[in-house]
Structures are given as structure tokens and as C-alpha cells.
Amino acid sequence: MRKRLYRFTIYTILTIASPFIWMHRKYNKRKSDVKYSSIVEGFANAAFPSEVIEETAKKRAAICAQCPFAMYSATMSKVIVDNKTKEIRGMYCDVCGCNLTAKIRSRDFCPRGKW
């Protein structure tokens, strides 16, 4: 049941986000390296947390909080609220453009090789 709900959540997020992904790709001036499937996976892992993923996320969040490429966005801090990793709330990676709340919970790796 949990696996089916997890898949349904990923499918729903991708269906809702697909027009926004298209607009982002079309109108973004600089080339974006965002891997949307891994970001959706990260948000699904945030919605359905497991102990292993959350332990990994806390370690990655500590590393990302020290990184000079972690940028703050006031919009993201209001839209995406994560009380488990407060040190990276409202931040995104300036290298790849990914939201750090989702990035640290995905299977994807840091573009600079820090984790």
C-alpha cells in the first residue's frame, strides 16, 4: 500500500509540475542542470520519510549549509517549509539550480562532489 501511494504521489507531482518545468526550461536564461525526476523523488521522500533517508539528509544538510554555492531564496523559504533540516530552509544550489530540501533526500549526488 505504501509503495503504491508513493508511486501515485510521484506521478501526481510530475503531472502537476510538467507545465512549470517546460516554462522553466524555455524562459530560463542560463542553462539549467536541474534533474526534475530526482527532485520529485526528493519531495516524495520528504513526504514519506524513512529513517535511513532522514539520517543521510541531515548529514548532507550540514555539508550544504557550509557550501558557498548554497543560495537563499525568500520565495522558497515561504513555499517549502522543512522543519527537519532548518539550516538549509529556503536554499537552492547555485550550480545545478536544485532545491536543497529535495536534493538532499534524492539519490542524486552533489554536482561539486561534496557528498
> Do residues 95 and 101 touch, judged by C-beta distance below 8 A?
no
For 1-115, list the strands marked E by DSSP. 70-72, 91-93
* pLDDT value of position 6: 72
pLDDT by residue (tens digit) across 57-115?
Answer: 899 989 988 989 888 877 666 666 666 777 888 888 888 778 888 888 888 888 888 88
pLDDT by residue (tens digit) across 1-54?
Answer: 667 777 777 667 666 665 555 555 555 555 556 677 778 888 888 888 889 988
* pLDDT value of position 21: 57
The angle that helices 36-47 and 2-27 make with each other, rounded to 10 degrees, is: 140
Q: Which three cell numbers stand for residue 15?
A: 503531472
